[in-house]
C-alpha cells in the first residue's frame, strides 16, 4: 500500500473526518486531501508526527507490502512494542519469555 492508502486507512480506522485528521496530525485540511489523493508526499516531520499520533511505524506508512524482509517485519513489531505503556510492555515481555523457555525446553528434549 502507498502512503496515501495508509493515511486514508488510518483516518477511517479511527473514524475521523478529513478536518479532524488535519487537526490530529497538525496539518492543513488541503494537505490531508492531497495526501489521500496521492497528489503529495509527506515530509519527514509529517511522517514522524503521523506515526507517533497513530502508534504506527514510519516504515509501515511508506513501504509497500512485500518490500520488507521477514526480519524487517520482526523489527517493526519490536518498534511497536517499544511504544507501549509499562503494563503492556510487561505483558509482552512475559509472553516472549514464556515462548523462549518453551522453545528451549523443546530443543533439550529432542
CA angle at 84 for the pair 78 and 88, rounded to the nearest 5°: 105
pTM: 0.61
* Secondary structure in 3-state letters for 8-53: HHHHHHCCCCHHHHHHHHCCCHHHHHHHHHCCCCCCHHHHHHHHHH
Confidence at residue 68, expressed as pLDDT on a 0 to 100 scale: 60
Confidence at residue 91, expressed as pLDDT on a 0 to 100 scale: 95
pLDDT, mean over the chain = 90
pLDDT in tens, 65-109: 766 666 667 788 888 888 899 999 999 999 999 999 998 888 888
Query: Residues 40, 17: contact at Cβ < 8 Å?
Result: no
The DSSP secondary-structure symbol of 100 reads: H
All domains of the chain, ordered by start, with CATH?
Answer: 3-62 (1.10.260.40), 70-108 (no CATH)
* Residue 84, SS3 per DSSP: coil
Q: Which residues are CB-neighbours of 42 under 8 A, at least 6 positions away?
A: 3, 7, 35, 50
Confidence at residue 1, expressed as pLDDT on a 0 to 100 scale: 73
d(CA 39, CA 91): 42
Amino acid at each position: 500500500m502507498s502512503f496515501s492508502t495508509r493515511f486514508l486507512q488510518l483516518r477511517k480506522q479511527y473514524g475521523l473526518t478529513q478536518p479532524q485528521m488535519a487537526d490530529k496530525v497538525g496539518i492543513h485540511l488541503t494537505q490531508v486531501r492531497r495526501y489521500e489523493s496521492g497528489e503529495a508526499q509527506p515530509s519527514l516531520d509529517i511522517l514522524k508526527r503521523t506515526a507517533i499520533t497513530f502508534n504506527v511505524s514510519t516504515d509501515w506508512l511508506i513501504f509497500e507490502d512485500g518490500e520488507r524482509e521477514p526480519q524487517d517485519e520482526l523489527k517493526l513489531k519490536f518498534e511497536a512494542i517499544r511504544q507501549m505503556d509499562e503494563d503492556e510492555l510487561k505483558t509482552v515481555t512475559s509472553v516472549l519469555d514464556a515462548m523462549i523457555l518453551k522453545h528451549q525446553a523443546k530443543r533439550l528434549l529432542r
